[in-house]
Structure 1
């Protein structure tokens, strides 16, 4: 009998009652790992491991900048086989999975390896940005059966690279929204049990509606009314489909898939019983501290703030265009901002699944994003909450229909998300990240607006009904949402 992935993932947690001890052992080994003896002409990219024990607790600005600098090096480093590039006997799968035989070559445009560096794909307009069509990747269902070698759309989906600017703020918003939704569920269960009557509650967080939840006095939960989020009420804000919970999870997955660089916290002894799971001859390739450094660098990337054009005519057109954007109902999904209570970024975070460290399982650290120079540009609302100008809602929506299918033409479902359902794209930085669409096959903003169907059909029709001048003005406003170096 084939077990569902959710059961397999849960078993990964339940089958290792001593897993915390294994993590502590891994951290001790990490601290004792000597720095490699390198010549100035070494072909290694990893100069020395980042020790997680050096960056625990609430970091002051100097320590935070030091960790960010280490992450910058790792993100832009071009990994080599001496570092552990390649996974000859392991697949790209999220759950550590062995191959039956080694592949014929190291690099592959299908299941990877497909890049030497994170910045190989995230580079438009600068490191940490989006990717051109030529940097597209092919993703499978992603858990275990990922040893494929075809670009046939029945077996893999082609995806364009998203930018990472403002990613720390996005994850913090997702954590707070998950907390809010789960608190509503908890309160409803308590009330149903105390009254002995079924109860239906509305799921709202930060002004975003996620449907309804019905609960029974005996503790049963009916999730059928939930909209735009998984039934566990955890917002997963990363990737086009909204299936990655955190930067840490995203980083560990990407290191393995794209580079064959395997993180100890997932591919080491804790889950696999091995120090060299991929059998490439390099043990403990990416340590806990290395992942933390990469997370800190991504979380610290400045959000793209709206720019002010020098051209007076452009200023006037953009001002009118923002009004058209609102009147067309685009703000129903592309919210101008979402409120954020705290800028404290805890790493590891509280919501990840097995194979990614969580709060209390490693050298817990807090990165206060308020310490970063760009934080002073963030406005606050009347409640003192930070106004995060992401132009999104961190919710999944049906984005295609029978007449407009270009944004829902995938054949392979991912993580139980329907093929025509995608995460609302945050529009901050959109002027700097062409091409558009999840395949990156639309060259202009006008094209991708025209392709909106499903839940966005009404707004798309309003766009179609605009005059040429009004459409131009709306584009003029979108072109002010740029990533500045």
Structure 2
């Protein structure tokens, strides 16, 4: 115990050396979260010695209730992803639709543990950001209701998406090079980790025909976060969430470089969230352990789940909810390699923060294939699919597209942990697993129909299997 305490003390001393200067906090009863901020370059330079305390600081920020003294509220700015001023008035201190709508990350991501999902009461409303909050409301014409997605295993998810993106972009580059060399069109199938994303045709002049790309953006970047799959990285997701849900604006998007102001939202607090602060939140989320299979299942449940897993494969659910995807490397770097302007990029960091997930306890439970790749049991293909058709359209209640993703198209949900994340569906309107399975249309219609063709006991075994996939405390 003494050695552990000494190690923690040393780590905290390292972290104290990477705090950026800020206004001194008041007494020990001060309500603000920030007495000082983290400096990204100093954290990266400190290396592994600061990692444990960086993650712990991220945990503190994840559970922290941001105050007006911290800059929360963005009184003169909107929730838009691009810095946008309000044309009149002041943003309400709490708005269910346009945000801010939560005091802390934990306020939504709390079930069954920190970083998990949430009940219906934690649902949020997504819109592109009107200049006046009074235009935002719960009508589907203005905003889309979303249920909280669990963040467990998020670092592994991002690493999978990075490798898939690299594979897809390499295929495109090779096709372009071949077309230029031969002077002839080159068709190339887009496949990464066994998942097909359509195909492209590269022409000799370097133009690429993208009409047949499927389930991913035209830039071939796999975006694994949000219901629609529109956020590339935990960092981008975090910056957006801080702004929308808390009214906390990160310097790397809302600071003087892009807006000409240290206090774009006119909150009275300059540079409210530094790049180092964002990195602490990223480090915490990236190191959250993945969901697992429920331990100590009763005998009847274990037998039913075993049969259900077979049925799950037989009726085709695993064609989208792929049981495992192979991952070559468990080294997570921050910033991410494929982020765009408004999120700190690799070219803007002197040295990246490096987190070896293989050193964490949960890595010991991951299986490996004959190539030495880690098999990540997320039950998803990280691809977008149409989930609605003319006769099965319960999931087609949205009227707004999000980041150019069609309203009836959603990223395949990761089913690891699904037994702990009720209610179900993008807006949490389905309270039972049977209900959400039956609601599948579009690309999943064949599996849904096959599920309905099973006898009640076989369908119940699939539910038993899915309910065994849970989020448990470390």
Aligned pairs for 1:191-210 (under 5 A) are: 191-210=178-197
Verify the 8 A CA contact 1:59 1:367 in the aligned structure 2: no
**Aligned residue number for residue 74 of structure 2:** 87
Query: Closer, same or farther in 2 for the Cα pair 1:145/1:235, shift >3 Å?
Result: farther
Verify the 8 A CA contact 2:85 2:131 in the aligned structure 1: no
The whole-number CA distance in structure 2 between the counterparts of 1:480 and 1:309 is: 10
- SS of residue matched to 1:407: coil
Following TM superposition, by how much is the alpha carbon of 1:239 offset from its aligned partner in structure 2, in angstroms? 0.4
Q: CA RMSD in A?
A: 1.4
The whole-number CA distance in structure 2 between the counterparts of 1:304 and 1:190 is: 42
Query: Closer, same or farther in 2 for the Cα pair 1:84/1:204, shift >3 Å?
Result: same
The whole-number CA distance in structure 2 between the counterparts of 1:146 and 1:190 is: 49
**Aligned residue number for residue 312 of structure 1:** 299
- SS of residue matched to 1:56: helix
Which shows bigger deviation, 382-391 or 300-309? Answer: 300-309
Aligned pairs for 1:45-194 (under 5 A) are: 45-56=33-44, 59-60=47-48, 62-103=49-90, 105-142=92-129, 147=133, 148-194=135-181
Verify the 8 A CA contact 2:102 2:246 in the aligned structure 1: yes
> Unaligned 5+ residue runs, structure 2?
1-17
Runs of 4+ aligned residues of structure 1 deviating over 3 Å after TM superposition are 144-148
Aligned pairs for 1:439-450 (under 5 A) are: 439-450=427-438
**Aligned residue number for residue 400 of structure 2:** 412
**Aligned residue number for residue 453 of structure 2:** 465
> Unaligned 5+ residue runs, structure 1?
1-29
* CA-to-aligned-CA distance 1:221-277 (integer Å, 9 cap, x gap): 110010000000000000000001000000001101111111011111110110000
The whole-number CA distance in structure 1 between the counterparts of 2:46 and 2:163 is: 19
The whole-number CA distance in structure 1 between the counterparts of 2:465 and 2:297 is: 13
- SS of residue matched to 2:347: coil
* CA-to-aligned-CA distance 1:153-211 (integer Å, 9 cap, x gap): 11111111100001000000000000000000000000000000011110000000000
* CA-to-aligned-CA distance 1:293-319 (integer Å, 9 cap, x gap): 000000000000222443111111110
Q: Does 1:437 align with 2:435?
A: no
**Aligned residue number for residue 360 of structure 1:** 347
Following TM superposition, by how much is the alpha carbon of 1:35 offset from its aligned partner in structure 2, in angstroms? 6.0
- SS of residue matched to 1:339: strand
Q: Does 1:377 align with 2:377?
A: no
Following TM superposition, by how much is the alpha carbon of 1:344 offset from its aligned partner in structure 2, in angstroms? 0.6
Following TM superposition, by how much is the alpha carbon of 1:32 offset from its aligned partner in structure 2, in angstroms? 4.9
Aligned pairs for 1:219-258 (under 5 A) are: 219-258=206-245
- SS of residue matched to 1:82: helix
Q: Does 1:44 align with 2:32?
A: yes
The whole-number CA distance in structure 2 between the counterparts of 1:308 and 1:124 is: 18
- From 264, 269, 273, the equivalent of 1:277 is 264
Verify the 8 A CA contact 2:19 2:36 in the aligned structure 1: no
Scaled by the length of structure 1, the TM-score of the pair is 0.91
Verify the 8 A CA contact 1:111 1:146 in the aligned structure 2: no
Following TM superposition, by how much is the alpha carbon of 1:481 offset from its aligned partner in structure 2, in angstroms? 0.3
Query: Closer, same or farther in 2 for the Cα pair 1:372/1:35, shift >3 Å?
Result: farther
The whole-number CA distance in structure 1 between the counterparts of 2:132 and 2:352 is: 32
The whole-number CA distance in structure 2 between the counterparts of 1:109 and 1:117 is: 14
Following TM superposition, by how much is the alpha carbon of 1:124 offset from its aligned partner in structure 2, in angstroms? 1.1
Following TM superposition, by how much is the alpha carbon of 1:57 offset from its aligned partner in structure 2, in angstroms? 5.3
Following TM superposition, by how much is the alpha carbon of 1:44 offset from its aligned partner in structure 2, in angstroms? 0.6
**Aligned residue number for residue 14 of structure 2:** none
Query: Closer, same or farther in 2 for the Cα pair 1:152/1:212, shift >3 Å?
Result: same
Following TM superposition, by how much is the alpha carbon of 1:31 offset from its aligned partner in structure 2, in angstroms? 6.1
Which shows bigger deviation, 176-185 or 100-109? Answer: 100-109
The whole-number CA distance in structure 2 between the counterparts of 1:412 and 1:104 is: 23
Verify the 8 A CA contact 1:434 1:444 in the aligned structure 2: yes
Scaled by the length of structure 2, the TM-score of the pair is 0.93
* CA-to-aligned-CA distance 1:27-66 (integer Å, 9 cap, x gap): xxx9652462331110112232122233215842x42211
The whole-number CA distance in structure 1 between the counterparts of 2:110 and 2:63 is: 10
Q: Does 1:325 align with 2:315?
A: no
